[in-house]
Amino acid sequence: MARNLVVSSQQPGAYPTIRDALEIAEPGDTVSIAPGEYQESLVVSGLRVSLVASGDPGSVTVDSTAVGLSVLAARNSEVTIRGLSMRSGDRPTVDAYGGRLKLEKCTLQAGYAPAVSVTNRTHLEAADTKVTGGQYGFVVEDAGGLLDKCEITNVADDGIIVRLGADPTIRNSTITGCGFRGVYVYQSGRPTIERCDISQTADAGISVAHGSSPTIDGCWIHDTQGVGIMFGRGCGGKVEECRVENTASPGIHVDEGANPSIREPLSTAHRPKVGVAALEGATQQDPAQIERLLSELDAMVGLASVKAEVRALIDEIQVNEWRRNAGLAVGAVSHHLIFTGAPGTGKTTVARIYGQLLKALGVLPAGKFKEVARRDMVGQYIGHTAEKTSSVIEEAMGGVLFIDEAYTLSRAAGGGSGDFGQEAIDTLVKMMEDHRDEIAVIVAGYTQEMTDFLDANSGLASRFAKTLEFENYTPKELLLIVSRIAKNDDYLLGDGMDDALYEWFSQIQMGQNFGNAREARKLLEGMRKAQSGRLRKLGRMPSRDDLRTLELEDLLGATQ
């Protein structure tokens, strides 16, 4: 059973040093540290442990300057550090080799060394963490993870280094006052840099070298002595909707032999906040994009009630933003949804549009869409499922996580008892609440099965804002879907085909397993095959109209 080990020089019975507590710590223990300054250097090996300030963030300072070692050296461990202020000399303040490192609401300072160094596939999570000095801020080598809402200021060289194939996500962070570059990506680094504010660098804001391919999205790079973004020979990646201002010319430099894709901002008038400033509550909306997406939604066949529900959700978000700007109170709003209904009714498409709408509304930083199923979330042994589920959710942060056939999580595979689907559900419920403002989770499946799924955890149903029911398409709507697919594929429907298709769809039994749009596409594919056989028997070269037209004979061939 996990324990809470108290460290205090004043409290009777407490451990006098953090090192004393770590020497007897067991996996899962928390070391709770009383406010004060501790002159220590700590080593953790093969242990899962949390080091937490018992007071406010910053009330505990751990200083290893005098001993010339790291404040914390973690080796193949799982360490969480919350609320600590840490200082080191010419060694990394926190040095992690393998395992997992989590920093929350911490402040770090180093001498001529990185504040944080992670290597050997360490999984790094840093949130609300500040680096206020050092040779480098973060060095991420052959590792990954997420840096979210971090500040890096006044470092001697590079703010963040990403190298040796490392692929972290750096999001909503501010990097300023660097003696060299803001972010240096090299040796096949593949980071994602989203909505970051990078400025006041003595060289490039972001420099990419040695076969690296970063994704740089929605960032503001400004007031740098070097170019805003530099791509060296052999590098790729993409730059999307970034503002590059008041830098050396050109703002984005691409060497010969580099091939990144670069997409300029759609509008210079739309200037969303980035970096830690984006956390102040105000959001920027893109009215033109919102209307374009709503028009795309309206153009879908059928789904009248679904469209009305989505519009109502969007209206509420917009009004809440107007209230916030007017200084009025705004209640907490969940963006998680339940989609129920038969397959082929447009659930995935609507989910994608919904995610892009949330981005255009300024609710979520990214309109990305991640679709997963049971196999992506459920592991094969105890603890594996929570890790897989957490990883899936982290990858979808800032956008939409779409879980298709979500009810399968509450069913034991093969009817056995050794199923870990419940662990996935419990992890999902917690992270949906903890990251309510950072992600929209949409679960989808058959209506009755989804009711059973919601009963799998007492807090599950309350996490969702609304249930949207996707009804089967009517015969008229299915006819329209076939016509649209045929037109997109350069086919025409011959005389009498509209009436024949309507009659065919009218006599089909549309139970819960009916495929709707999938059935329409399957029917059209069958008609194409029948047409091919018919044309081969003409005894002549078919005309262009022959090749384009689907006849009643083809429908009969496809349905027999």
| CB contact set of 526 (below 8 Å; sequence gap of 6+) | 557, 558, 559
| CA angle at 89 for the pair 84 and 91, rounded to the nearest 5° | 90
Q: Locate all alpha helices (DSSP H) within 90-241, ordered by sequence.
A: none
- pLDDT given for residue 422 in this prediction: 80
* Contact of 409 with 453, CB cutoff 8 Å: yes
* pTM of the full structure: 0.55
Torsion of CA 206, 255, 234, 194, to 10 degrees: 30
| CA angle at 421 for the pair 419 and 424, rounded to the nearest 5° | 140
b vs e for 482-507, b when ≥16 Cβ sit within 10 Å of the residue's Cβ? bbebbeeeebebbeebeebbeebbee
| CA angle at 182 for the pair 285 and 75, rounded to the nearest 5° | 105
Half-sphere exposure of 433 (CA within 13 A, CB side): 10
Question: For each of the chain's 560 residues, which pLDDT tens digit applies?
Answer: 789 999 998 899 999 999 999 999 999 999 999 999 999 999 999 999 999 999 999 999 999 999 999 999 999 999 999 999 999 999 999 999 999 999 999 999 999 999 999 999 999 999 999 999 999 999 999 999 999 999 999 999 999 999 999 999 999 999 999 999 999 999 999 999 998 999 999 999 999 999 999 999 989 999 999 999 999 999 999 999 899 999 999 999 999 999 999 998 765 544 666 888 765 544 567 788 888 888 888 888 888 888 888 888 888 888 877 776 554 566 667 788 888 887 788 888 898 898 888 888 878 877 778 888 888 888 777 777 888 888 888 888 888 889 888 888 875 544 444 567 788 888 888 888 878 778 888 888 888 888 878 887 777 888 887 888 888 888 888 888 888 888 888 888 888 888 888 888 888 766 556 667 888 888 888 888 888 888 888 878 888 888 888 888 888 888 87
d(CA 182, CA 313): 39
Residue 119: Cβ within 10 Å count: 17
Which long-range contacts link 352-358 to residues 24+ away (Cβ below 8 Å)? 352/400, 353/293, 353/296, 353/297, 353/310, 354/310, 354/313, 354/400, 354/440, 354/442, 355/399, 355/400, 355/440, 356/289, 356/293, 357/290, 357/293, 357/294, 357/310, 357/314, 358/317, 358/400, 358/440
From 41, 36, 42, select the one nearest 67 (Cα to Cα). Answer: 41
* Contact of 97 with 72, CB cutoff 8 Å: no
Q: Which two tokens stand for residue 416?
A: 């056995």
